[in-house]
Amino acid sequence: MHHSHTISVLVENEFGVLARVSGLFSGRGFNIDSLTVAPTNEESLSRMTIVTRGDENVLEQITKQLNKLVDVIKVIDFSDDSAIEREMALIKVTAEDESRAEVLRIVDIFRAKIIDVTPKSYTIEATGAPLKIDAILELLRPLGLKELVRTGAVAIGRGARGWKG
Amino acid sequence: MKMNGARILLESLKREGVDLVFGYPGGTVINLYDELMNVREIRHILPRHEQGGTHAADGYARATGKVGVAIATSGPGATNTVTGIATAYMDSIPMVVICGQVPTPLIGNDAFQEVDMIGITRPITKHSFLIRNPKDIPTIVRKAFYIARSGRPGPVLIDFPKDVQIAQAEFKWPETIDIRGYKPNLEGHPRQVEKAITMMMAARRPVMYVGGGVILANAAEELTQLARRLQFPVTTTLMGLGSFPENDPLALKMLGMHGAYAANMAMTNSDLILAVGARFDDRVTGKIATFAPHAKIIHIDVDPTSIRKNVRVDLPIVGDTRDVLIKMLAELDKQADGIKQLHKNLTAWHEDVTGWKTKHPIGYKQSTTTIKPQYVIQKLRELSNDDAIMATDVGQHQMWAAQFFEFHQPRTLLTSGGLGTMGFGLPAAMGAQAAFPKRQVLCVCGDGGVQMNIQELATMVQNRLPVKIVILNNNFLGMVRQWQELFFDKRYSQTCMELPIDFVKLAEAYGAKGLRTEKPGEVEQVIKEALAYNGPVVMEFKIAREEKVLPMVPAGASLNEMVLNA
Ligand SMILES: Cc1ncc(C[n+]2csc(CCOP(=O)(O)OP(=O)(O)O)c2C)c(N)n1
């Protein structure tokens, strides 16, 4: 019932738009699991990717309420399997003595990268579907997670059709 | 032609057809006010408080259907408009509020009288604009008015920094505007309309449930025709009062928490609800789980978010209510035989409805010794013109006005339904009177709420706005006291006003006329004298202090679990 849901929102690239969208979610008690925003290939537009949760009625309200905002130009609700999602994580883990090799093995399996090294730690860059990030974290956590930064998911529709912007 | 930003704004207001604004000057709008002296076409009314000015602009909008305009200076002037903006937002009233702002370079520096108005009002405006460049003013004004009045109307804020008021630019009025993210869906889908007609023709126990959306869309005429053609009983929300004549045999009167028994019973027992411009608010539905358990629901609304927000809907029709109703009437033209059959099918239902109406009509126990508030309202109806406008404040008196003043025409009831703002009535009446100097404008208040914007009596006197103010004085915050009586063992915590106010003297201090009575036998004469007087009048009626608003559906109970006499 309460499934996680990814929504893409094309908005005017204007002052205060992020506040309008995030205010809508907090004011109406909608969940935000993650939210990313950046400009698109059309200068006047930004694209947000919002991962949210809720039952069918809540999701319907979220889409309708987003559409009602004057600065929102288009809302795409990626239901089922219609989108490809990617997320990046920067992970700092303890890596001393025998655990150094273990970290490297995990990094290798997940095709992640080491981007910073010290005698006591590795910093890893991992990219993939959010579930893949969850999986690598699960393996690294027992080794000592010092710091974690996730971008939140971005999503794009499958197939040849593209959205302008 | 080059002019300063202040002048460009005023010229833009003129292009939008604005001839009246309510505003209060201050440091960051002083340039705007200076230019105003050069613009004769815009009349300006100075309220005594920005909240009063904002409610007045709102009352003007409710009474006329045009966009109301309020102006305030930055900081405290602007924050004083917040309650007015929220009130308009909750009732979908078209309004443009223009606030001064500190000069652009100072924004964000905690400058003197700086406040982030766009931030503060974000959840209570339909949209907002910060003007950064004087050349953008015409487009921003045009967009603001378009957004305020189109689709589901609402208030729009314009934040206007002082330096932009001074800076020069060319005035160029845009011939067209295009807002790519804002395209209200006005045309009801013909297929949905057809489906609705099929459902309506098959109904046996139908009700039309009508809200403020019908008034906002100027669709009262079409709604009335549709109800009469189909012979469907009609109940209205508080905001819908006036969209269907309450003296019509099909009228069930208001439904919900303080609604008529017949209206709530009809909803509960119906097999089809045609909801038009109404939003299934909790004051209307009672307990959702038991709301209209047997009914299929058709929901017409211009705002898709209103549909399926609170209740399940079998057939949504998104569109301007007037457009949809016109399409329905056109469809019915093709169904003469079907309609005859429909009328036959409804006989039993009409009998049920009449039964409920006669069993528990809205009523009260008359008294010869103390004035019953309901009696005052009935007398007001009897003695005022059919097109009289009635503004109310919020509380018991508001519900008595809704129950006992029969509304016959749209835009004749101005009341804060969504936010329930005490202090709304008096300034809203003032705004309506400014719009219609010749019509009777009545204002019904309690002794509590009337003191929240009483200062506007001065504005009325100064501007010769002859509002007839009725104070139903129970010396209590009556509505809260009623809840305390019913649900808190009569523990009247902070609801007795204790200090009696001499409202007659107060009126006279402002230069208005004051009248008072505590005798039922004098009510008629006081009202007659007030209505005959050419100027604002305060009528103080000392009423039965512990009179209750009934019937009542306790919060959280089902609609058919009404307390009829407690
Ligand atoms: C600004 C504001 N404050 C508080 C309330 C809560 N409230 C609702 S009705 C009411 C009592 C109103 O009393 P009065 O104006 O005397 O009218 P009465 O109910 O006695 O007719 C109160 C305090 C409100 N609606 N608005």
Measure B395 CA to ligand 1 centroid, in angstroms: 5
Q: Where are the alpha helices (DSSP H) in B334-476?
A: 336-345, 347-359, 373-383, 396-404, 425-435, 456-462
Residue B166 has pLDDT above 60, yes or no: yes
Contact between B119 and A19 using a beta-carbon 8 Å cutoff = yes
Q: What is the pLDDT of residue B566?
A: 62
By mean pLDDT, which of A77-86, B395-404, B470-479 is the weakest? A77-86
B195 confidence band (pLDDT: 50, 70, 90): very high
- Range B246-249, long-range pairs (CB < 8 A, 24+ positions): B246/B406, B246/B407, B246/B408, B247/B406, B247/B408, B248/B224
B478 neighbors B397 (Cβ within 8 angstroms):
yes
B494 confidence band (pLDDT: 50, 70, 90): very high
User: What is the longest distance spanned by two Cα atoms in chain B?
Assistant: 72
Q: What is the DSSP letter of B75?
A: T
B58 confidence band (pLDDT: 50, 70, 90): very high
Q: Is B399 a catalytic residue?
A: no
Q: Which residues fall within 8 angstroms of residue B16, CB to CB, at 6 or more apart? A: B67, B141, B142, B145
By mean pLDDT, which of A156-165, B224-233, B280-289 is the weakest? A156-165
| B61-94: pLDDT as tens digits | 999 999 999 999 999 999 999 999 999 999 999 9
Contact between B122 and A11 using a beta-carbon 8 Å cutoff = no
Report how far residue A66's alpha carbon sits from residue A11's, in angstroms, rounded to the nearest whole number.
10
Query: What string of DSSP letters covers A74-91?
Result: EEEEE-TT-EEEEEEEEE
Residue B7 has pLDDT above 80, yes or no: yes
Q: Which residues pair with B11 in a beta bridge?
A: none
Ligand 1, atom 26, lies closest to the CA of B422
Residue of A nearest to B122 (CA): A20
- Range A12-15, long-range pairs (CB < 8 A, 24+ positions): A12/A44, A12/A45, A12/A46, A12/A71, A12/A73, A12/B181, A13/A39, A13/A43, A13/A44, A13/A45, A13/A46, A14/A71, A15/B130
Candidate from B83, B469, B479 with most ligand 1 atoms within 8 A of CB, to mutate: B479
**Averaged pLDDT for residues B321-335:** 97
Residue numbers in B near A72 (CB within 8 A): 181
Report how far residue B206's alpha carbon sits from residue B274's, in angstroms, rounded to the nearest whole number.
8
Contact between B181 and A57 using a beta-carbon 8 Å cutoff = no
B407 confidence band (pLDDT: 50, 70, 90): very high
Q: What is the pLDDT of residue A1?
A: 53
Residue B231 CB burial class (10 angstroms; 0-12, 13-18, ≥19):
middle
Report how far residue B399's alpha carbon sits from residue B496's, in angstroms, rounded to the nearest whole number.
20
Residue B105 CA, chain-centre distance (Å), reads 39
Q: For chain B, give the mean pLDDT.
A: 97
B504 phi, psi to nearest 5 deg = -70, -45
Ligand 1, atom 23, lies closest to the CA of B477
Q: Where are the alpha helices (DSSP H) in B150-219?
A: 162-166, 190-201, 212-216
Peptide bond into B361 cis (omega under 30): no
Contact between A68 and B304 using a beta-carbon 8 Å cutoff = yes
B230 neighbors B342 (Cβ within 8 angstroms):
yes
Return per-residue pLDDT of chain A as tens, 165 residues: 567 899 999 999 998 999 999 999 999 999 999 999 999 999 999 999 999 999 989 999 999 999 999 999 999 988 777 899 999 999 999 999 889 999 999 999 999 999 999 999 999 999 999 999 999 999 999 999 999 999 999 999 998 888 765
- Residue for token pair 């009045």: B149
Report how far residue B92's alpha carbon sits from residue B511's, in angstroms, rounded to the nearest whole number.
35
In this complex, the residue of A57, A61, A73 whose CB is nearest that of residue B181 is A73
Per annotation, catalytic residue among B66, B126, B143, B162: B162
Q: Is B113 a catalytic residue?
A: yes
Residue B565 has pLDDT above 90, yes or no: no
**Averaged pLDDT for residues B99-125:** 97
Ligand 1, atom 8, lies closest to the CA of B395
Comparing A54 with B565, the larger pLDDT belongs to A54
Residue B13 CB burial class (10 angstroms; 0-12, 13-18, ≥19):
buried
Residue B238 has pLDDT above 90, yes or no: yes
Lookup: tokens for B324: 């949809």
Residues with CB under 6 A from ligand 1: B 393-397, 420-423, 446-449, 472, 474, 476-480
Report how far residue B89's alpha carbon sits from residue B124's, in angstroms, rounded to the nearest whole number.
6
Gyration radius of chain A over CA positions:
18
Strand order in the sheet with B95-101: B43-45, B20-23, B68-72, B95-101, B155-161, B127-130
Candidate from B477, B498, B541 with most ligand 1 atoms within 8 A of CB, to mutate: B477
With residue B516 as reference, give the H or E element that holds it: strand B513-517
Residue of A nearest to B182 (CA): A70
Q: What is the pLDDT of residue A82?
A: 86
Q: What is the pLDDT of residue A15?
A: 86
Residue B505: count other Cβ atoms within 10 Å of its Cβ: 10
Q: What is the pLDDT of residue B348?
A: 98
| B242-264: pLDDT as tens digits | 999 999 999 999 999 999 999 99
| Percentage, residues of chain B above pLDDT 90 | 98
Lookup: tokens for B287: 């307990």
- Residue for token pair 């915050």: B477
Comparing B504 with A162, the larger pLDDT belongs to B504
pTM above 0.90, yes or no: yes
Q: How far is B304 from chain A (nearest CA, A)?
A: 7
Report how far residue B551's alpha carbon sits from residue B337's, in angstroms, rounded to the nearest whole number.
40
**Averaged pLDDT for residues B355-370:** 96
**Averaged pLDDT for residues B140-144:** 98
Q: What is the pLDDT of residue A162?
A: 85
**Averaged pLDDT for residues B351-358:** 98
